Amino acid sequence: MKKTLTRFLLGAILVASCLFLRANEPRNLALVKGELRTYEATEYPREIAAVAARATAWLEERVLARKPGERLTVVIDLDETLLSNWPYIDQMDFPSTQAMMKWMPQSRCPAIKPVRELYRAARRDGVDVIFLTGRAHELESATIKNLQNIGCGDYAALICRPPGNRETAQAYKTAARRRLSADGRTIILNIGDQQSDLAGGYSERTFKLPNPFYFLE
């Protein structure tokens, strides 16, 4: 009887241990990648369009309230905001952000169309557009070519990360917006796919696009 009870207790402990381990096991990477691909093909475009529509509505509202002499400015991030790296991400099965640097010099990123429409609306309304990107200065020429390729060559400035800059994305971009504000610009709208694109202030409104594909601090 005691042996039977002991076996029962050991079995119960083993089952409980397996259940505990299973409950804490992360989702299988292959399944997650499949979910991301499904999301990119379905919900992702709709969510991008919804955020861009809200940003455009704010742009138009703010332009109507423009005061004489105001230098209204829109700040737009590039990767996964205006430019899509999805063709490379998908092809290379979710590479690191460092590996993506091999793709960017090709100037082949397609436009994220709802954000391109926001850009066009800003220019129609006489609002300056500044592209603020975490891309290294070495990618500036390729980025200019890519922007021209998608019809976004009319902008006030393209700000790339200076050589030797090791700041976090948030610190680097906050400092850039601070300088723009100190230069007399009123940043009415800042849009990006990472929270680090938006945190730190120096913008009347911020708009966060989804990006479950990679993360930058």
Domains of the chain (ranges, CATH numbers): 28-208 (3.40.50.1000)
**Which of the two residues, 194 and 24, has the higher pLDDT score?**
194
Under 8 Å CB-to-CB from 204, ≥6 apart: which residues? 62, 186, 187, 188, 189
pTM: 0.87
- Give the model's pLDDT for residue 24: 82
Average pLDDT over residues 55-83: 97
The confidence score (pLDDT) of residue 15 equals 46
Mean of pLDDT values over 59-85 = 97
Average of per-residue pLDDT across 179-197? 98
Amino acid symbol at 33: K
Q: Which of 204, 207, 202 is CA-nearest to residue 177?
A: 202
Q: Per-residue pLDDT for 171 more than 60?
A: yes
Q: What sign for the dihedral angle of Cα 104, 109, 114, 119?
A: positive
Paired residues of 190 in beta bridges: 75, 206
pLDDT digits (tens, 9 = 90+) for 108-124: 999 999 999 999 999 99
The dihedral over CA atoms of 191, 193, 196, 198, expressed in degrees to the nearest 10, equals 20
Angstrom distances, CA of residue 84 to CA of 90, 120, 217 = 11, 17, 19
Share of the chain above pLDDT 90, in %: 85
φ, ψ for residue 87, nearest 5 deg:
-55, -40
Amino acid 211: pLDDT: 97
